[in-house]
Structure 1
């Protein structure tokens, strides 16, 4: 039997799934690694820890293959940046999308119009997540490091270098750097000059279905696959999650809520938002992805669990119960709208639709009658409210959705699934298949090795789906709350900057 491995290099872990060519899952591995946050606004990872996790995950799933592995394909977190020396050794850790230290550069270029010029060429919104802004920050604050760096790459490019000693980057990932012109499909010389780097410092651009062969022999032996096994470049985690959900047709919208979250859809040609609220990146075969990512998805639920419900977390352990299930049971007792308690979920700045690295979270409307149960429900609703505002921005560009499909860790919660349908006022389809990014990577691999003509083949692999209908009894509560949610957020824009600067000047002891 022949197999394909889909790998997803994410923010918190690397996952690998072994598939048959018919889409059946025969092996799964999930390898965790830490996020380093030594100082305020920092969010880094160790590139070698990620490489080792990738090798381990791949090795574990290959053990389940009783035949030939035809290809390995990659889905990878966006916006990462790693500086390498002349020998391709890391000079930096992985500066992730969540790193906020280039906030001043993004804000300045947003105000002087340069950021919009970059957006109009690259499709990258003005935000410190973008490697173009990270490079400008390093150039200013870490000039010695900036000047001694020979190559600038993302984490996938570093991993593939370790595998093949070839430095290549596929165009979907390159678009997320803010350095590639999406209309010319090439590194933009004007932007490179503005940043102060050259194309010789960047990987060679290739297509997502391109292959690398000639795996390092020792690694091939360790993993247990032939050295000539093709590795398919793959694409961004966002694009491949969309494919893995089967949301590939016109008007088909995918919502994902993992640690972070996103709302996105495919279109047939590049389309930019005059207000710069949505990104636009190429994928393949005349397909472009447009949408908006949010920083604050499941990480908000984790914050609630660890900081507002620490005793219940321990109780759940004694009951042999998932703490998240216990919290959703508590939240179910509160009516939709949390009796007028609103939560803005900006615990780590925010990307779409406000694109403000200084945004901060808040509860609004607290009264003596509110309880912790109200707070957990309001936190979950706040995440979905924010995703809905992204959907509203997306609708302005591409129209009403014909289908909404959703996935991510949140999909385990029936309460959260129903909440999504209620706030979006639209049926929401949840596939039972998991790891949509790995499935999307597997789909690209099938195209690359000639086993599929296009991405529509994924429809065969998705399997059973459940659809949640919106509950009309909740509409009025949410419709009445949303304008207040939006209004409070707008009124706090100036205060976000002030409180963020205060927090930088007075860091928590653990951040010093």
Structure 2
């Protein structure tokens, strides 16, 4: 029996899954690490801590493989997108990993949004105007931290740094490159205007390769720590969003994937670059003839975590003492409140927002509170607010692609029947939940199958997904949502004019870096 490993390097943890070539699972590992957040706009990670997490995860699943009867054919990578790491001339980090959630480049993204140059950059690169983009992060470092900028010889993302540690090569697949704002999606090469904007040259960026490109010649010390031969190939893979889409089996035009983990997204595949005139949706190449468009949101499961820790701290402690999952407790509390939360609306922008408003200054709010509302209403309104926001992304996506043929959903939220039904009711569409485990790892494994000649194309994923459950919208419930959604949307537009003012007020009172 031979094996493949899919590894997913996410924002809060690295997960690895050991498969045989038929897609059966033989091992799983999950290694956590912290975000570094000294103020509300900061979101960094230590890349060396994450590197060790990848070694530990790979070692744990490799130990489950019987290498006396077969071998590990390859390791394929799914990795968080929009990260930035500066490297000096000796390839040592000059920064931590500045993650997608870091908002400190907001001033420069806002300036370019206001003068139209951000929209022009989007039309070349497919990256919406937002401080998540590495191009804006480099601009911020150049202007606000020139000592770091001058010391930096190379600009890479997290995956590129990790693979450099393993192989001593700086390579980046087109899919990840497109998330930087430095890559021209029409010319399929580094974008001259974007590089000029931030004052760098192409020799400061990784070499561009395909998703199926294999790296070989691993550092033997790391191979020994993991427990497989140093000639085991690593396959480039892609971004976590693209590979999660593949792992859900939403690979055909019209099939929409909704994912909610720490953050969330609504995505679909198209067969050529597709740009939104309003700049609301991203557009990135994945593989030959496959482009992914859609919108990511900052505020997914992280909102539920905030509700748990800040509004329901006593219940969290009690649940742990009783051996219960605090999230299950909160979900049961939310079930006590009717759909629409009796008119309580929550805009879930705890960490700024990406799609569809692309405003790093966005802030969360409850609206419609009365004396009749309780904490139970607040938890349900928070859960609904997450899905309302995803629905507004879907509205923008429909303008580009038309009505979806199918909606598939995954992520931590998809384990909850309440959230599954809420998604179907708010979207007013049947929602299918594939039971595939760790869709990002599965998508990475599919890329490995193609790279190693075990499969011809992405359709092989349909052999591995397994059982699917479909939730139908409840007419008695979605009438409530149909009435409240226009209020949510109109209110959001009115609040947007004040986001920058309240964000600036808050920044003045935060600790300095």
Normalised-by-shorter TM-score class: over 0.9
CA displacement at 1:269 relative to structure 2: 0.5
Partner of 1:458: 461
CA displacement at 1:222 relative to structure 2: 1.2
Partner of 1:17: 17
Q: Distance in 1 between matches of 2:317 and 2:142?
A: 46
**Mapped pair 1:250 → 2:253:** yes
SS at match of 2:4: strand
Gaps (5+ residues) in structure 2? none
Q: Distance in 2 between matches of 1:319 and 1:416?
A: 24
SS at match of 2:267: strand
Partner of 1:211: 214
SS at match of 1:238: helix
Q: Deviations over 1:125-168 (max 9, x none)?
A: 00000000001000000111101101000000000000000010
**Mapped pair 1:441 → 2:444:** yes
Q: Distance in 2 between matches of 1:87 and 1:139?
A: 20
1:220-239 equivalences in 2 (<5 Å)? 220-239=223-242
Q: Distance in 1 between matches of 2:397 and 2:368?
A: 29
Q: Distance in 2 between matches of 1:104 and 1:254?
A: 32
**Mapped pair 1:300 → 2:303:** yes
Match for 1:107 among 104, 107, 110?
110
Match for 1:313 among 311, 316, 324?
316
Gaps (5+ residues) in structure 1? none
1:193-208 equivalences in 2 (<5 Å)? 193-208=196-211
Q: Distance in 1 between matches of 2:509 and 2:230?
A: 53
Q: Distance in 1 between matches of 2:142 and 2:170?
A: 23
CA displacement at 1:285 relative to structure 2: 2.1
Q: Distance in 1 between matches of 2:221 and 2:322?
A: 46
Q: Distance in 1 between matches of 2:445 and 2:144?
A: 41
SS at match of 1:30: strand
SS at match of 1:266: strand
Partner of 1:65: 65
Q: Distance in 2 between matches of 1:444 and 1:390?
A: 27
Show structure 1 runs of 4+ deviating over 4 A. none
Q: Deviations over 1:416-471 (max 9, x none)?
A: 11000000000101112221000000000000000000010000000011111110
SS at match of 1:176: helix
1:101-500 equivalences in 2 (<5 Å)? 101-500=104-503
Q: Deviations over 1:210-257 (max 9, x none)?
A: 000001111111111111111000101111000000001110000000
Q: Distance in 1 between matches of 2:39 and 2:336?
A: 39
Q: Distance in 1 between matches of 2:185 and 2:172?
A: 14
Q: Distance in 2 between matches of 1:140 and 1:369?
A: 50
TM-score by length of 1: 0.99
Partner of 2:52: 52
Q: Distance in 2 between matches of 1:341 and 1:473?
A: 19
Q: Distance in 1 between matches of 2:436 and 2:123?
A: 36
CA displacement at 1:11 relative to structure 2: 0.2
Q: Distance in 2 between matches of 1:327 and 1:368?
A: 21
Give the aligned CA root-mean-square deviation in angstroms: 0.8
Q: Distance in 2 between matches of 1:279 and 1:12?
A: 23
Q: Distance in 2 between matches of 1:347 and 1:111?
A: 23
**Mapped pair 1:41 → 2:41:** yes
SS at match of 1:108: helix
CA displacement at 1:39 relative to structure 2: 2.6
SS at match of 2:86: strand
1:79-118 equivalences in 2 (<5 Å)? 79-118=82-121
Partner of 2:504: 501
Partner of 2:27: 27
Q: Distance in 2 between matches of 1:425 and 1:190?
A: 43
Q: Which moved more, 1:45-54 or 1:218-227?
A: 218-227
Aligned length: 510
Q: Distance in 2 between matches of 1:383 and 1:284?
A: 30
Q: Distance in 1 between matches of 2:64 and 2:484?
A: 51
SS at match of 1:19: strand
Partner of 1:3: 3
SS at match of 2:29: strand
Q: Distance in 1 between matches of 2:320 and 2:40?
A: 32
SS at match of 2:497: helix
CA displacement at 1:506 relative to structure 2: 1.4
CA displacement at 1:48 relative to structure 2: 0.2
Q: Distance in 2 between matches of 1:64 and 1:314?
A: 35
Q: Deviations over 1:25-63 (max 9, x none)?
A: 100000011100013300000010010000110011000
CA displacement at 1:174 relative to structure 2: 0.1
Q: Distance in 2 between matches of 1:34 and 1:112?
A: 37
